[in-house]
Amino acid sequence: AGAGVMIAVDIGASSGRVIIGRLPDATSGAEPGQLAMEVVHRFPNGVSEVDGSLHWDAEGIFAEVTAGLKAAAAVVRETGERVLSIGIDTWAVDYGLLDADGRLVGPPHAYRDSRTDATIDRVHAAISPERLYAVGGMQFLPFNTVYQLAAEQDLAGQRALLIPDLLAYWLTGVERTEETNASTTALFDAREVAWSAEVFDAVGVPQLFAELIAPGQAYGTLRTEVAAATGLAADVQVVAVGSHDTASAVAAVPAADAHFAYVSSGTWSLVGLELEEPVLSEASRAANFTNERGVDGTIRYLQNVGGLWLLQESMRDWAEQGRERELTDLLAAAAELDAGPVVDANAAEFIAPGQMAGRIRAAVERAGDTLPAAPGEADALGAASGVDPDQAATVRCIMDSLAAGYAASLAAAAELSGQRPQVVHIVGGGSQNTLLCQLTADATGLPVLAGPVEATAQGNLLVQARAAGLISGGLAELRRAVAADLVRYQPRA
Ligand code: ADP
Ligand code: LRH
């Protein structure tokens, strides 16, 4: 048989991709080389509004996954390679509900929906925020799964699968819950590494999730219908990876030593440290740090900073006004400006979609400041690129705000954990943002190493490669196999 390859299905809030990963076989005696990736399918993703609430089109996403697997099957048919396994990661927290026959009960809600506004107080009356934190160690985010489940009307007879597990179920027919993602629900016991009966009972929700599995364990092989539809062999395994995209991204941070911080930079910026034990102290709760479970039982001690969502949504806003601009032009225009006012990128007011540029401007004004130019003001700067002055100022404000947010989060993480990072690794789509990378170095006073862009897919593939016996060892060994051309940014005085 030909060489074995792995397939990563990596779906973020803004886009998805299906990637073939190849790693030279270490059992042949050679040093394991670096992972090579071939993107076979990309597709856009985003929330859609159905009947006034925000949803994910899970079935549409699954159709894209199937199309990607079909493209991967076509590639290996040409090369004579053999697909060993498929791994899936997506954003955290959200889930699909299945009825007694295993059918999806409507499109899954998206975490940016406002339905939890009505349930947070009710959950906190049933179990205090202090107790929730002592058990699960999750930062308070209004969309944590526990608040979402509390918003469901009637759960009797239903089961829930987190989004990557739902896709794995459709591929294999097997229901499991992968544990890095389970840890983000706030229904999980961070120390016991098990569902928390205490939290489910307190909230009055049945324990409706499937049995836990860890990264590296298999859900099962492909359903015959899936094998037929994709052209993949029916014995291809779907293997659990860090199915929380951030778990896979952190697993592939190309860190050379232990004292590193990371920013997983996409729609969100996940900013923090890798620890061996959770920090469940009251100070940590008050600072709103999370203890998400990582690959190999590590703890991702981090905060969600508003992220490039603020930029994505501002750009959508401008496009709706007929002022669509290229991302690279916007960033170049922002880089021409001096630092200006900042907003709190973590503020709950930026979670929902819509009119983002206006909301940022309003937040600056509420703080008694102004952004240098108003919409429609004469175009002095943007003559060449077509970027309007208010757009440049808004993008500059987002970048300054994110960099300030990263620096504040990292300082707090260091303080609360006692671990002092020497370098900041930025991975994900945002690692290409040279302005943000430089501002992060400046704001943190630490060197920044940017890349790889596709860290999440690499973390996904390397966990599969280890499950297949192509590489062995812990995270340090996996990280040495990460393919990355790192760009270094030094802090400026
Ligand atoms: P997610 O996984 O959340 O969907 P990604 O990791 O794919 O996010 O990152 C998407 C972000 O990457 C975009 O919002 C954009 O700001 C940024 N990005 C993509 N391409 C570039 C580029 N060429 N230069 C700078 N930033 C980029
Ligand atoms: C990033 C991410 C993040 C979660 C959010 C829901 O894609 O998984 O880690 O907090 O989405």
ipTM of the prediction: 0.99
Question: The tokens 């999980």 sit on which residue?
Answer: 188
Specify the residue with its C-alpha closest to ligand 1, atom 1: 12
pLDDT band at 32 (very low <50, low <70, confident <90, very high): low
* Mutation pick for ligand 2 pocket among 245, 262, 267, 302 (CB with most ligand atoms within 8 Å): 245
Strand order in the sheet with 423-427: 290-293, 299-305, 269-275, 260-265, 423-427, 448-450, 487-489
Tell me how far the alpha carbon of residue 279 is from its chain's centroid: 21
The per-residue pLDDT for 379 is 57
- C-alpha 466/C-alpha 32 separation (Å) is 11
| Cα-to-centroid distance, 124 and ligand 1 (Å) | 35
| Cα-to-centroid distance, 146 and ligand 1 (Å) | 29
| Cα-to-centroid distance, 385 and ligand 2 (Å) | 33
The per-residue pLDDT for 479 is 97
* Residue 212: Cβ within 10 Å count: 16
pLDDT band at 203 (very low <50, low <70, confident <90, very high): very high
- Specify the amino acid at residue 388: D
Cα angle value 139/260/490 (rounded, 5°): 115
CA atoms within 13 A on the CB side of 79: 16
Tell me how far the alpha carbon of residue 215 is from its chain's centroid: 16
- C-alpha 244/C-alpha 250 separation (Å) is 10
**Shortest-distance ligand to the CA of residue 437:** 1
- The rounded mean pLDDT for the chain is 95
Q: Is a pLDDT exceeding 50 seen at residue 311?
A: yes
Specify the residue with its C-alpha closest to ligand 2, atom 2: 91
pLDDT band at 409 (very low <50, low <70, confident <90, very high): very high
Work out which ligand 2 atom sits closest to the CA atom of 246: 9
Specify the residue with its C-alpha closest to ligand 2, atom 7: 91
- C-alpha 169/C-alpha 87 separation (Å) is 12
Percent of the chain residues topping a pLDDT of 70: 97
Tell me how far the alpha carbon of residue 204 is from its chain's centroid: 29
Q: Catalytic: 245?
A: yes
The per-residue pLDDT for 103 is 97
pTM: 0.97
Cβ < 6 A, ligand 2 pocket:
12-13, 91-93, 111, 244-246, 266-268, 270, 304
Question: The tokens 């896979």 sit on which residue?
Answer: 248
| Cα-to-centroid distance, 223 and ligand 1 (Å) | 34
Q: What is the pLDDT of residues 436-462, one digit of tens each?
A: 999 999 999 999 999 999 999 999 999
Specify the residue with its C-alpha closest to ligand 1, atom 26: 433
With b meaning 16 or more CB within 10 Å and e meaning fewer, what string describes 318-342? beeeebebeeebbbbbbbebeebbb
Specify the residue with its C-alpha closest to ligand 1, atom 19: 429
**Shortest-distance ligand to the CA of residue 244:** 2
**Shortest-distance ligand to the CA of residue 303:** 2
The per-residue pLDDT for 415 is 97
Cα angle value 306/353/251 (rounded, 5°): 40
The per-residue pLDDT for 299 is 97
Q: Nearest Cα to 426, choosing from 305, 293, 282, 338?
A: 305
Q: For helices 389-417 and 434-444, give the axis angle rounded to 10 degrees.
A: 40
Cα 4 to Cα 20, 38, 80, 345, distances in angstroms: 10, 14, 10, 43
* Mutation pick for ligand 2 pocket among 93, 148, 165 (CB with most ligand atoms within 8 Å): 93
pLDDT band at 2 (very low <50, low <70, confident <90, very high): confident
pLDDT band at 50 (very low <50, low <70, confident <90, very high): confident
Q: What is the pLDDT of residues 357-376, one digit of tens each?
A: 999 999 999 999 999 887 77
Of the two residues 2 and 272, the one the predictor is more confident about is 272
Cα angle value 306/431/459 (rounded, 5°): 95
Cβ < 6 A, ligand 1 pocket:
12-15, 266-267, 308, 311-312, 327, 428-430, 432-433
- C-alpha 120/C-alpha 328 separation (Å) is 39
**Shortest-distance ligand to the CA of residue 243:** 2
Specify the residue with its C-alpha closest to ligand 2, atom 1: 91
Specify the residue with its C-alpha closest to ligand 1, atom 18: 429
Work out which ligand 2 atom sits closest to the CA atom of 12: 7
| Cα-to-centroid distance, 246 and ligand 2 (Å) | 7
Work out which ligand 2 atom sits closest to the CA atom of 13: 7
The per-residue pLDDT for 384 is 53
**245, 317, 388, 400: the active-site residue:** 245
Work out which ligand 1 atom sits closest to the CA atom of 268: 3
